[in-house]
Amino acid sequence: METPSLNRTYKKVVEQAQDFLPILGTDYIEMIVGNAKQSAHYFKTAFGFQDLAFSGMETGRKDRVSYVLQQGKIRLVITAPLTPESELWEHVRTHGDGVKVVALWVEDATKAFQETVKRGAKPYLEPCVESDSFGRVVKSGIHTYGETVHLFIERHDYRGAFLPGFVSHNSGFAPAESGLLYIDHMVGNVDWGQMNTWCSFYAEVMGFAQLISFDDKDISTDYTALMSKVMSNGSGYIKFPINEPAKGKKKSQIEEYIEYYRGPGVQHIAVATGDIVKTVQDLRARGVQFLEVPDSYYADLMHRVGQIDEEIEVLKSLRILVDRDDQGYLLQLFTKPIVDRPTVFIEIIQRKGATSFGKGNFKALFESIEREQELRGTL
């Protein structure tokens, strides 16, 4: 019997996805942190993000400060509270530094709000217009898992640096970019038994379709397991894998995340590069720490993935992972958590045809994470 190719499956999924919520791309990701100035400096020096815009006391905003950074099509907003009364402290106190907003770029933010709320989304922000001398933006928002929210951003009448209320910003300090191009996917960790609930949310409320799923048979080691499903919007630009813990002998990394994040949240942001060897060399030189991969991973790599353009020795020296599906292959690597708690991390990914997510690497990856957990005493 012929198995449907992933490409055909993907096309079918995209056809299934309903187009009541056309999304043009990820507009920005906002992290709430304890010290935005220092976090922004880290994303610039370690990852090569560039200054784009700023909002804070100098722009009349007295309760919070935001640095907007950009690299390729990725916009990152780093926000911190300025006063003890700020509600943002509650977010930092509970979750540590973490992702609060996954903003989606839409044609019509009012319709996006109406269509999703009609289908059961919990409103976060009623449609509102913000404007300044550069034009107008319509924003709205809904809640998703945990305290994470989706904002819908309609910006076709806006020509400013970022959003009204922000001024364009250039500190004069600009370490070179590291080749990061766009967000490939963003993964959410949800609680035990909640994966299907949140996949249904993306299907029913946002019109996404399921791309692929893994279960604990695919992704388990001696100790830990997880289940994961990938939800994609109609255009295929937005891909949200959703993980839940599965029963293992010891505590899984998803459980560890949920314990330290104090609930569901964004686990990792996967960013695409056109040259992972160059990007990872660069990031390592800048001090970015990646998960360790055992030598044994490379011993039978050729056997597992077949012919690839890159030299195995080079990949091995940088600890880059490779996986193949029936469309091609992909190269990827995961940072250690980029915040103090064992929560959010970054994935660097280069796709060479493959449309999947590195299932073949999960086991090697998990074993690596377990070694880290063991050091933290949380396995």
State the residues that interact with Fe ion by CB under 5 A: 270, 347
Least CB distance to Fe ion at residue 131 (A): 37
Which tokens is 260 given?
A: 């330290």
Least CB distance to Fe ion at residue 200 (A): 21
Which tokens is 321 given?
A: 């992972």
Question: Which of residues 137 and 291 has its CB atom nearest to Fe ion in the complex?
Answer: 291
Question: Which of residues 23 and 270 has its CB atom nearest to Fe ion in the complex?
Answer: 270
Measure CA 189 to chain center: 11
Question: Which of residues 36 and 187 has its CB atom nearest to Fe ion in the complex?
Answer: 187
Question: Which of residues 204 and 372 has its CB atom nearest to Fe ion in the complex?
Answer: 372
Question: Which of residues 282 and 347 has its CB atom nearest to Fe ion in the complex?
Answer: 347
Question: Which of residues 88 and 187 has its CB atom nearest to Fe ion in the complex?
Answer: 187
Q: CB count, 10 Å around CB of 95? A: 23
Q: How many helices (H) and strands (E) does the chain have?
A: 11, 17
Least CB distance to Fe ion at residue 347 (A): 5
Distance CA 308, CA 315 (A): 11
Strand partners, 230: 212, 241
Q: How many CA atoms lie within 13 A of 147 on its CB side?
A: 20
Element (H, E) at 284: helix 276-285
Q: Which residue intervals of 6-70 are DSSP H helices?
A: 6-16, 36-47
Question: Which of residues 142 and 272 has its CB atom nearest to Fe ion in the complex?
Answer: 272
Least CB distance to Fe ion at residue 57 (A): 37
Asked whether 254 and 226 are in contact (CB, 8 A), the reply is yes
Which tokens is 101 given?
A: 């907003």
- Residue closest to Fe ion, measured at CB: 270
Question: Which of residues 97 and 184 has its CB atom nearest to Fe ion in the complex?
Answer: 184
Least CB distance to Fe ion at residue 361 (A): 10
Which tokens is 144 given?
A: 């998703």
Question: Which of residues 153 and 270 has its CB atom nearest to Fe ion in the complex?
Answer: 270
Least CB distance to Fe ion at residue 61 (A): 34
Least CB distance to Fe ion at residue 101 (A): 19
Q: Is 73 helix (H, G, I), strand (E, B) or coil?
A: coil
Element (H, E) at 67: strand 64-71
Least CB distance to Fe ion at residue 242 (A): 12
Least CB distance to Fe ion at residue 332 (A): 7
Question: Which of residues 68 and 333 has its CB atom nearest to Fe ion in the complex?
Answer: 333
Least CB distance to Fe ion at residue 214 (A): 11
Q: Look at residues 21, 43, 73, 79 and name the one whose alpha carbon lies nearest to residue 231.
A: 21
Distance CA 262, CA 247 (A): 19
Which residues have CB under 8 Å from 258's CB, separation 6+?
A: 189, 191, 245, 264
Which residues have CB under 8 Å from 124's CB, separation 6+?
A: 141, 142, 143, 149, 150, 151
- Dihedral pair phi/psi, residue 164, rounded to 5°: -55, 140
